[in-house]
Structures are given as C-alpha cells and as structure tokens.
Structure 1
Amino acid sequence: MLNYSHFKSFAINIYMNEKQKMKAGKIYDSLVPELASRRREAQAFCLAYNALPESHPKRARLIKKIFPKAPDSLFVRGPIFVDYGDNVTFGEHVFFNFHAVLLDVCPITIGNNVFFGPNISLLTPMHALIAAERQPYFDVEKGYLTDREYGKPIFIGNDCWFGGNVTILPGVTIVDNVVIGAGSVVTRSILTSGIYAGNPARKIRDIIAEDSIYMNKDLW
C-alpha cells in the first residue's frame, strides 16, 4: 500500500510562502526578499540598541523593534544579535547578560523567570549535510540567488538558569527548573529538572533543599 503522507506534506508546502515554511521547520529559501529585508531590519535595530548605554531610554523602544512580542519585563544588557527577532516569544522577567545570540529561523519560546549568562547562543538553523546541497545557486526563474535550509524550534520552560557560554542547539526542549552549567552544549532535550553540565550536557544531580542560599551560612 502506498504511503501518501509525503505527498500530502508536499501538497501543503506548495501553498506556503517561504516565511511560513521557515517557521514550520520545512525547507525554505532564506534569500527571498521578504526574509532578507527583515534580517537587515533586525540587524539595524540590534546595532542601534548595542550602541546605546544600558540606561538609555531609547533602548526600551528598540528592544520592542528587535522583539515585537517582548514583554516590558524583558531585560537585555547587550550586545544582542538575532536573525529575525519576531520568531522569539518570552514569558515575564527574562534576563540576558552580555552578548546574546538568538538565531530564530524557527520559533524560540522562553518561559517566565529565565536567566541567561554572558555569551549565550540559541541556535535553530539547520543546513544540509551533503556539501553540494549547502551551496547557493542562481535561480533563473526567480532572477536571484537561492539558498535552501531549514530549522528546528527551541523551547525553554520556566525558572531556568543558563551559565555563561552555553549553546543550545536546534530542536531542544528544556523543562521547568533546570540549571545549565557554564560552557555546556545542549544537544538533546532535557525533560527532567536538575543541574546539567558538559558537552554534550548531562545531568549532574537534582536540585535539593540544601542548595538554598539560606542554608549556606558562609554567604551571609
């Protein structure tokens, strides 16, 4: 019996524009004018934001240009770099330390009360493993270069803390109440709370009551 699922998916794809394909994790052309225009726009907003002092009042307006879905409680020290920005959704009280990179060709969803240390990278883009398939080519019909790629979304739950120099790879889901140690590379989804570290990130242990700062007298 024939499996028609592939043909059904293809039929749906031909009615999607390139932005819709991109957000759905399908093969899309990253060089179409609509997407290229938004990338240039987002880059300009990031450059303007990054050039201002942390206390400058114009930063509040610019961060909404970078991230149209951002709540007022979002705090980004900068510099910040994005592909599009409009594919990122935040909960309340999200904090980014210095130098954050969010490559959001697919949706990036971040929950409430999430802290990111410096040099964080949230990466959704994927490229072909076959070298020839990664090369842009001139589309005679369209009259411009064409580049095929795809992405996988990232989802981060509530109450997470990511140390400095953490990289989160495409397709990763991280549940609530997770701590990721500095320098870690998260290659697979984390589906239980706890402390993780390493490359690839692995669970070190659970978070326990004795981890409370109020239990450590040396801190007071």
Structure 2
Amino acid sequence: MTEKEKMLSGEYYDPDDSELIAMRLRARLLTETLNQTSAEKPEERHRIIRALFGSTGKVFHIESVFNCEYGKNIHVGDNFFANFGCVILDVAEVRIGRDCLIAPQVGIYTATHPTDPKKRAAGLEYAKPITIGDNCWIGGHATINPGVTLGNNVVVASGAVVTKSFGDNVVIGGNPARILKTI
C-alpha cells in the first residue's frame, strides 16, 4: 500500500511521503489563493473551492479565512455554508450533507496521533473519517473530533467538543458533548 492508501484506510502512515507533501502543498496554495480572493468575486471563489474539494453541491459559500489539510477528502452537499475561520483537517474523508451551516472558528479534525510514545516520536499518524448529516448547524468554536458521525438535523452548541457520534434530531453541547435536548 502507498502512504496515501494507508492514510485513507485509517492505518498508520508516514506524512513525510512525497505524494502527501505534494498534495498538502497543492491544498495550501489553493486555500492561500481562496483567502486572498475578494468577496466581490464569488464565481472565482467557487472555482477555487471546486478545484480544492472532492465534491460540492450547486450552492455553497465559504468565508475566508478557510484552511484544510488536503481538500480532496472534503465532500459537501448543496446549500453548505462555512463562516469565518473554519478549519477542516481532512486527512480522512469528511462528508457533510446538504443544508448545513458551520459557524465561525469551527474545527473539524480527522487527523490524530498514536498514544504510543515510540510511534508518535517516529512521526506516524492516522486518521478517522467524519460524517455530518443533512440540515446540521455547528455552533461557533465547536470542535468535531476524529471518527465522529452526526445524524440529520443535529445542532452542536457553541464551544462543544464532540468526541463521540450522535443520531438524528438532537441538540448537543458541552465538553465532552452530550445530548441537551431532542428536537
């Protein structure tokens, strides 16, 4: 297996692999261009995001500053909105459904590191995919951790740290996030 194949399958991989370095550089150059492109040029911003992401719906909007790791592992549905300061570390796939809203300063992180100090010191990494259903709203400064799946119609309260998966129709919040109410 290549290091990219290992990475995408959730196995330990070497992030210093030349293919992965080239992919990260491509993403950084595209996000740099996106973040420097005026809000008065929405068509150009859409073109950059479509080149960066694995897939998008027809309608989407991302405010600058936006950052991601690879870009190609991000898939968003129609009517997607990400506000200022969104960071998506898409070492594994990130799938976000339609009609989703991401508030300012949200972090969505698939990347993780070994707890074994020898493996960590060796520079190995791994990742777990994240899936966010349709019609979700992620509040400001929320953090979505590796391996989390959120169902449809989930609301994540501001500042929540989501460390486990939740089903449909719930409001979650806190650290670690727990169900605050059923919708």
Q: TM-score range by the shorter chain?
A: over 0.9
Report what 2:125 is aligned to. 149
Q: CA 1:108–1:68 in 2, change beyond 3 Å: closer, same or farther?
A: closer
Q: 2:164 aligns with which of 188, 209, 212?
A: 188
1:70: Cα distance to partner?
2.1
Structure of higher CA gyration radius: 1
Superposition RMSD on alpha carbons, in Å? 1.2
1:54 is matched with: 39
- Partners of 1:97 and 1:33 in 2: how far apart? 32
Q: Distance in 2 between matches of 1:23 and 1:168?
A: 18
TM-score for the superposition, normalised by structure 1: 0.79
Equivalent in 28, 32, 35 of residue 43 of structure 1? 28
Alignment of 1:108 with 2:100, yes or no, is no
Alignment coverage as a number of residue pairs: 182
2:18 matched to 1:26? Answer: no
Match of 1:204, as an amino acid? L
Q: Measure, in 2, the Cα distance between the counterparts of 1:171 and 1:61.
A: 29
Q: CA deviation at 1:74?
A: 1.8
Supply the distance in 1 between the matched residues of 2:159 and 2:178 (Cα, whole angstroms). Answer: 12
- How far apart are the structure 2 equivalents of 1:64 and 1:109? 15
Q: Deviations over 1:74-117 (max 9, x none)?
A: 21012110100101111111110001101011111111101000
Residue segments in structure 1 that go unaligned for 5+ positions in a row:
1-15, 137-146, 208-220
Instruction: Structure 2: state its 5+ residue gaps.
Output: none
CA distance in 1, matches of 2:135, 2:151: 9
In the alignment, residue 93 of structure 1 is paired with which amino acid? Answer: N
1:204 aligns with 2:161: no
What CA distance in whole angstroms lies between the structure 1 residues aligned with 2:40 and 2:104?
A: 18
Identity score, percent: 36
Q: Conserved in 1, the CA contact under 8 Å of 2:103 and 2:139?
A: yes
Give the aligned residue type for 2:171: I
| TM-score (ref. length: structure 2) | 0.95
